[in-house]
Amino acid sequence: MTQVISVVQEKGGAGKTTLLTALASLMVADDAKIAVIDTDPQRHLESWAKKEQTNLDWLFEEDDEKLLPTVKALKKSDPPYDAIFVDTAGFKSAMAMHAIAAANLILIPSKANEADAKGARRTFSHVQSIAETMEKEIPALVVMMDVDAHTNITQAIVDALDAQNIPRLNAMCAHRTGFKEMTSTGMAPQGAAKRSAQSVLADLQGRGLITYYRSDAWQKSV
C-alpha cells in the first residue's frame, strides 16, 4: 500500500521542504520507490528535484482540485510507490486542506521560535478538524527543525507543545550546514545533517509510522 506523507505548516520558513527532501532521499537510499509532489507556488521542492541526484520521481501541481486525482493516479503506478510526499505552501489554503485529506501521515515542522510554534498548533488543530470531518484517523506530529536541542528556547518551545498535548517526535533536525547545502545541490543530506535526518526517520520508523519499514520488501532487505 502506498503511503501519502504530507508536510504541512501554515507558517512559512519552518523547514517543510528541508524535512521532506531529507526524509525522501533517505528512504530512496533504503531502496524505497518514492514520488514527491510540490504544491508550493515558490517551487523550492521542484528546484531541488530538478537537480536531485537520488532516484525519485517528482511533479508540480498548482491546482488544488487536481491534487487528490493526481495522488490517486500515482497510487495506481506499477510498480507501486512505497511513499508519496506532498510539499505545501506556508499559508493556510485549499491546497493544504487537500494535502491533509490525501495523507496517511502529517508532519508539521517547527523551528524553535514562538511564531513557528503557534503555526504548528494551528496546523495541528486544522488537521484534527479535517480528520474529524472525514471520519478518518490521520496521525500528525510536530518535527523540530534547525534547532540546538540544548538551548533554553528550544526547551521552552518543546515544553509549550507538550503542555498542549501536541504530538511531536523526540528526534529533531539539528542546525546543520549540510541541510542548506542539500537544497542548493540537489543531493541527499551528508555528514552531520544526514545523521540528524536519520534520527528523525528512525523515530518515525520506531513508532511504526512509515509503512515501508513494515513491509515484506524492507524486511527481506535487512
Give the model confidence (pLDDT) of 94-140 as tens digits.
999 999 999 999 999 999 999 999 999 999 999 999 999 999 999 99
Cα distance between the two ends of the chain: 20
All cell numbers assigned to 80 = 507501486
Residue 21 belongs to what H/E stretch? helix 16-29
Q: At what angle do helices 44-51 and 177-185 cross, to 10 degrees?
A: 70
User: In the CATH scheme, what is the code of domain 3-213?
Assistant: 3.40.50.300
Distance CA 195, CA 199 (A): 6
Residue 52: per-residue pLDDT: 64
Where along the chain do its domains lie?
Answer: 3-213
CB-based contact 141:167 (threshold 8 Å): yes
Q: For residues 155 and 142, is the Cβ–Cβ distance under 8 A?
A: no
How far is it, in rounded angstroms, from Cα 193 to Cα 102? 29
Write down the pTM of the prediction.
0.94
Q: Report the amino acid identity of residue 5.
A: I
- How far is it, in rounded angstroms, from Cα 156 to Cα 160? 6
3-state secondary structure of 38: strand
**181-212: pLDDT as tens digits:** 887 777 788 899 999 999 999 999 999 999 99
